[in-house]
Amino acid sequence: MVNGVTSRFSWQGQRLSVEVLFSQAGVAQHVWIAGPETGVLIDTGDGVLRDLLDKEIDLSRISAIFYTHGHFDHMGGLHTLLGFMRMIGRKRVLPVYAPEGCTEAFATVHNFRRCYPDSIPFDITMTELHAHQVIDIDGLAVEGFPLQHSGSVEGGGVLDPVPAMGYRLTLEGESVNRGDRRRDVPPRAFDRGDGRRNRQSGQRVGPHPFLPPSALSSSVSPRHRCSGVGTIRGGLSFV
């Protein structure tokens, strides 16, 4: 991590892979999580298109976009991404998901539609998510759980909390957690739906909750390296 920028790193599990495309608080945040047959973006900060192309990720593999919340550094690149998809003639429906009450991402989609009312070759669906709602994306189960997250402005201090969610993505027993919460809010447990609970640690790494590359092994991070940081359940846990 250099000057608050989380190194762009990759992690490969048995079924899921993770690309931290960029992460710097107040600048941009976007993560690519994929299985063999599907992939989703978590947030689309400024520069997301550039970073996807730089990693040679096939944009046709984007099965859905999920937003943790609507702050500019998490959704500022959406219009550009949609415009590129329009230019290359995407045909596949693009589902966009965000926490209930998160207006910023949906407003961007509405504005994009107004700009090109007759020339968008793909449908864009928008869905507000409720706590613990599970969405199936081509076999990839994405569960949303509520988080508390606030922004700030210079001279104005911490603002009121905004609608925010973390996500647990599970494919054939392998899971990844992703969320962004206020430093001063205690971690929460969330129910997987089978009676087991995963309690997130109170420790936070860097401006955004990612495990540093030093915590990664060539396969699955060992539990002792993640002590006090996160919980491994057949995969990598971001806290």
- pTM for this entry: 0.75
Contacts of 39 (CB under 8 A, 6+ apart): 32, 33, 57, 61, 62, 63
- For residue range 52-74, what is the model confidence (pLDDT) as tens digits? 999 999 999 999 999 999 999 99
> What pLDDT sits at residue 8?
72
**In the 8-state DSSP scheme, what is residue 154?**
T
Whole-angstrom CA distances from 59 to 50, 135, 229 are 11, 21, 32
Per the CB < 8 A criterion, the answer to whether 217 and 225 are in contact is: yes
CA 185/CA 166 separation, integer angstroms = 14
pLDDT of residue 130: 93
Quote the tokens at residue 61. 């593999």
What pLDDT was estimated at residue 227?
29
Which segments of the chain are extended strands (E)?
10-12, 17-24, 28-34, 39-42, 62-66, 94-99, 124-129, 134-137, 140-146, 149-153, 157-162, 165-171, 174-178, 189-191, 197-199
The CATH H-level (homologous superfamily) assignment of domain 10-199 is: Ribonuclease Z/Hydroxyacylglutathione hydrolase-like (3.60.15.10)
Contact (CB, 8 A) for 223 and 201: no
pLDDT tens digit at each of 239 positions of the chain = 444 455 577 889 999 999 999 999 889 999 999 999 899 999 999 999 999 999 999 999 999 999 999 999 999 999 999 999 999 999 999 999 999 999 999 999 999 999 999 999 999 999 999 999 999 999 999 999 998 887 777 776 777 788 999 999 999 989 987 655 443 333 332 222 332 333 333 323 233 333 333 333 322 333 333 222 232 233 333 33
Between β-strands 174-178 and 149-153, what pairing exists: parallel, antiparallel or unpaired?
A: unpaired
Burial class (CB in 10 A: 0-12, 13-18, 19+), 101: exposed
